[in-house]
Amino acid sequence: MIRPRYNNLLDTIGNTPLAKINFQTPAQVFAKLEYLNPGGSVKDRSSLYMIEHAEKTGLLKPGGTIVEASSGNQGVACAMIGALKGYRVIITVSEKISQEKLQTIQAYGAEVVMCPSTSFIEDPRSYHSQAVAIARSIENSFMPNQYFNILNAQAHYTLLAPEIWEQTEGKVTHYFAAAGTGGTVSGVGRYLKERNPNVKIIALDSSNSWRSTNGNPQPYKIEGIGIDFETPVLAKDIIDEIIPVTDADGLGMLPKMARQYGLLLGPSSGAAAWALEHYARTRLTKDDCAVVIFSDSGRAYLTKGFYAQPQDHHLTATSYKEKQTSI
């Protein structure tokens, strides 16, 4: 009788590797490779936690429907989990979503409702407002509601944070995470602060977000990141610093991370890497140990053209031969 290490796919969520990155800094810098979760992002953890909490408390019953608003990854995770557990899944997304994330949600059999990209979440056309309306209209439906449900941060406090604490043997001094809902930075941040109040918790925001612009948000390209409204999920009391990152800086980091470090990252991880690299240059010492979350992979954004360089056009077999003979 074979005793599998994992009884089902959902058991493979979490326990992601922590890999050292050789940034130019006297400190030790580690990346938590959350894109190695089975759904491809950190959101597998929060989705599973919220869905299983709803099952336990009777909010989600067999035959029910999961409705969620997502910049993409929470939608992918809900779709994957819903497929395995046998729920109907409806995901509202904004027009900013990459084709890869959109099609991945659909590949798991979930229904997608496309909504315009709005500056304010309260806008009735926003993907959040639409998800609330859809959930209200369907009997036996459950909305994890990642933007307002503190269980989102609780998931990362319970599942992700202890892994980081153990993998760094309690030596982590700085923690960097991109903030969208704020769940990843807040849940882990609270746990680390409880273990060591001196740990610095650093959130990365879009420089065009509602928070960064004092209430006058402008469009931005980086998906998943951006503090765009007041939410109880974002634990301001334990965040030491919020660093705004421009699209140009965050996206500009992506080819470098792939070509220099072999890390094909999603845009929010590019923003986190940019902020960490700059912070590390002047503010980290040899006694420091920084951990950064790499939330998802660049494979989910390849068609956005953030990675290929102008010189990267490919050859055909014929033009390759011609090139060789002309050398």
Catalytic residues: 43
Q: Compute the least distance from the CB of residue 225 to ligand PLP, in Å.
A: 5
Q: Which of 132/178 has CB closer to ligand PLP?
A: 178
Q: Is 149 an interacting residue with respect to ligand PLP (CB under 6 A)? A: no
Which residues fall within 8 angstroms of residue 104, CB to CB, at 6 or more apart?
40, 76, 79, 300
- Collapsed DSSP state (helix, strand, coil) of residue 291: strand
Q: Which of 65/73 has CB closer to ligand PLP?
A: 73
CA distance readout (Å), 308 to 46, 190, 262, 298, 319 = 32, 38, 14, 11, 20
Q: Is 296 an interacting residue with respect to ligand PLP (CB under 6 A)? A: yes
How far apart CA 212 and CA 158 sit, in angstroms, is: 29
Q: Which of 38/171 has CB closer to ligand PLP?
A: 38
Q: Output the residue with the shortest Cβ distance to ligand PLP.
A: 224
Residue among 25, 37, 71, 129 that touches ligand PLP (CB under 6 A): 71
Q: Compute the least distance from the CB of residue 223 to ligand PLP, in Å.
A: 6
Instruction: Find the radius of gyration of the CA atoms of the chain.
Output: 20
**N-terminal to C-terminal alpha carbon distance within the chain:** 60
Question: What phi-psi label fits residue 63: left (phi over 0), alpha (psi between -120 and 50 degrees) or beta?
Answer: left
Which residues fall within 8 angstroms of residue 317, CB to CB, at 6 or more apart?
none
Which one, of 197, 161, 159, lies nearest residue 77 by Cα?
159
Q: Compute the least distance from the CB of residue 29 to ligand PLP, in Å.
A: 19
Q: Is 268 an interacting residue with respect to ligand PLP (CB under 6 A)? A: yes
**Can you state the angle between helices 73-85 and 43-56, rounded to 10 degrees?**
50
Residue among 266, 274, 288, 291 that touches ligand PLP (CB under 6 A): 266
* Identity of the amino acid at 311: Q
Which one of the spans 65-73, 104-112, 282-290, 317-325 is the region binding ligand PLP (CB under 6 A)? 65-73
180-219 positions binding ligand PLP, by CB under 6 A: 180-184
- Collapsed DSSP state (helix, strand, coil) of residue 140: coil
Are 292 and 176 in contact by the 8 Å Cβ rule? The answer is yes
Residue among 29, 89, 178, 280 that touches ligand PLP (CB under 6 A): 178
74-133 positions binding ligand PLP, by CB under 6 A: 74
Q: Compute the least distance from the CB of residue 227 to ligand PLP, in Å.
A: 9
| x/- letters, 220..249, toward ligand PLP (CB under 6 A) | ----xx------------------------
Residue among 32, 43, 174, 193 that touches ligand PLP (CB under 6 A): 43
Q: Compute the least distance from the CB of residue 272 to ligand PLP, in Å.
A: 8
Q: What are the start-end ranges of the H helices in 86-211? A: 99-107, 127-137, 151-155, 161-167, 183-195
How many CA atoms lie within 13 Å of 45's alpha carbon, on the beta-carbon side? Answer: 27
Number of residues that bind ligand PLP (CB under 6 A): 19
Which one of the spans 24-32, 177-185, 209-217, 248-256 is the region binding ligand PLP (CB under 6 A)? 177-185
Residues of the shown chain interacting with ligand PLP in the complex, contacts defined by CB under 6 A: 41, 43, 71-74, 178-184, 224-225, 266, 268, 295-296
